[in-house]
Amino acid sequence: MFACLQQLSRFLAAHTSAFVLLVAGVTFWQPWLFDWVRGNIQSAVLGFIMLTMGMTLSPQDFRVLALRPLDIALGALAQFTIMPLLAWALVSCFDLPRGIALGLVLVGCCPGGVSSNIMSFLCRGDVAFSVGMTTVSTLLSPVVTPLFVLWLAGASIDVDAAGMFRSILLVTILPVALGTVGNTLLRRKQSYRALCSAMPGASVIGLACIVGGVISACGSHFLESGVLIFVTIFLHNTLGYMLGYAAGRFFCMSRPKRRTLSIEVGMQNAGLATVLAGKHFSALPEAAVASAICCVWHSITGTLLAGFFNFFDRLRGLQADKESPAVKEEAEQPRQQ
């Protein structure tokens, strides 16, 4: 049974964007399917996703934070400056409606996405750096996210920063802590390791449920939001990847670190933004819609970016083979004959 679950988990993890898109499309036409993913259930689903993240962490991962404090500090600085300020700049530039503006700011102020670690692995990035950045940004988020939202959106929107702090604490920090403790105590047991191997797929299903729940509740607002919401989300995400990579260059990081920083900055925990929007800003449903679109879009572009980095590596490898002396000598032999 565990073998089947592991295969299903690997399949879902490899096709995250396609699965979430499928669920989103089906729910748009049949909203009743995910009508149950509302309120506390939605928060519980996100808590489960964060629990699966905690189940991958061990004391060794936290030692990385102590061994590489400069890398982690620079990564956290990039994470919590580039995306929030980009969101604010786009909101100001396009004069977005309040709901969409809030959704974009929420996404920008959230920590890095859980699946960013998988993307860093797929593109030969620095996985330890990725795990460290995700961990730190998640730990900082109960304080930093409400403060940034209050600072960037508080002038035009009533922001309950204390309520957001409690929500993030309950749906991120507590589940991650429980998962980490469980992994520390039980990771030597074969049955627990088998269970952990099935968790990536379970988190993908959870993410799809959150997106499905938002579409079930606010699907009619998708068409009302117009093209502008998609343009701003595209720019926010794409510029995040580019500026994250540029920050890695500025700090003289290695290529694997630059790739990881690009993904960590560009891929946000939009699932958390979706839950916060639904719980604290229900009067502005467009905020949850924008966050849900980010959930899907970040999964798609993260996969594409990892594929692009791999394609670039293969291209460089072919170029290096062509320029190597052995290849040149072999190519010249027929001419000499």
Query: What whole-number distance in Å separates Cα of residue 328 and Cα of residue 58?
Result: 49
**Which of 19-23, 85-89, 138-142, 255-259 is predicted with the least confidence, judged by mean pLDDT?**
19-23
Number of C-beta neighbours around residue 247 at 10 A = 21
52 Cβ contact partners less than 8 Å away, ≥ 6 residues apart: 114, 179, 199, 200, 202, 203, 206
Cβ proximity of 97 and 161 under 8 Å: no
The whole-number pLDDT of residue 259 equals 92
Q: How many CB atoms lie within 10 A of CB 330?
A: 10
User: In terms of Cα–Cα distance, which of 113, 144, 166 is closest to 280?
Assistant: 166
pLDDT digits (tens, 9 = 90+) for 268-314: 888 888 888 888 888 888 888 888 888 778 878 887 888 888 888 88
Look at the block and give the residue holding tokens 């580019």. Answer: 242
pLDDT tens, position by position, 188-247: 888 888 888 888 888 888 888 887 887 787 766 666 666 788 889 999 999 999 999 999
Domains of the chain: 2-314 (1.20.1530.20)
How many CB atoms sit inside 10 A of residue 310's CB?
A: 13
Q: Is 280 helix (H, G, I), strand (E, B) or coil?
A: helix
Report residue 275 as tokens. 């839950």
**Amino acid at residue number 159:** V
Bridge partners of 316, per DSSP, are none
**Structure confidence at residue 44 (pLDDT):** 87
